[in-house]
Amino acid sequence: MTAPRTDLADRLAAYDRLLEVGVGHRPEVAAALADAGATVTAIDVVDATVPDGVEFVRDDVVARRDAIEGGASPPEHYRVDAVYGLNLPAELQRPVLDVARAVGADFLFTTLGFEEPVVPVERESVGRETLYVARSR
C-alpha cells in the first residue's frame, strides 16, 4: 500500500462501519480499515475479490439511489457511518451522496485527479491526496 492510501485509511478509521463504492481491483484501503477493526463492505457493479475481513456485495449505487428515491429501504450493507469512494468519477458523486444522505452517513471521496467535485464538499489534505468530505450527519 502506498503512503497516501495508508494516510487515507488512517483518516477513514475514525468511522466504525464503512461502505466502499467501486472497490474494483484495489481493496487496500478496505483491507487496512478491516485490519484496524472497522466493519467494511465493498460494492461494485462487477464481481471483485476482497481480502478477509471485508464483505463484498455486487451492487449498483445508481440503481440503489433510484430505488431509495422510489421508496425502497436501503439494504443492511448501506447502514454505515461513512460511504467512501477512491478515484470516484464525477458521474457517481451525486448518486453516492444521495445514498449517503438517505442513510445518514458521511460521504468521503477522492477524484480521478483531473476532475473537481460536482457536489458541495469540504476539502482535507490527507498525505499527498485531497479528500473531499460531504457530511450527512
Q: Residue 130: what pLDDT?
A: 94
Q: Residue 85: what pLDDT?
A: 97
pLDDT band at 136 (very low <50, low <70, confident <90, very high): low
- As a whole number, mean pLDDT of residues 87-104 equals 96
- As a whole number, mean pLDDT of residues 119-126 equals 95
What the chain holds in terms of domains, given with CATH numbers, is: 3-134 (3.40.50.150)
Q: How far apart are CA 9 and CA 51, in angstroms?
A: 15
Please check the confidence at residue 135 and state whether its pLDDT lies above 80. no
Q: Residue 80: what pLDDT?
A: 98
Q: What are the Cα distances from residue 40, in Å, to 66, 96, 116?
A: 23, 16, 27
Q: How far apart are CA 132 and CA 124, in angstroms?
A: 6
Helix (H, G, I), strand (E, B) or coil at 10: helix
Kind of pairing between the strands at 17-21 and 39-44: parallel
Computed over every residue of the chain, the mean pLDDT equals: 93
pTM for the full predicted model: 0.93
Q: What is the pLDDT of residues 70-85, one digit of tens each?
A: 999 999 999 999 999 9
- As a whole number, mean pLDDT of residues 44-61 equals 96
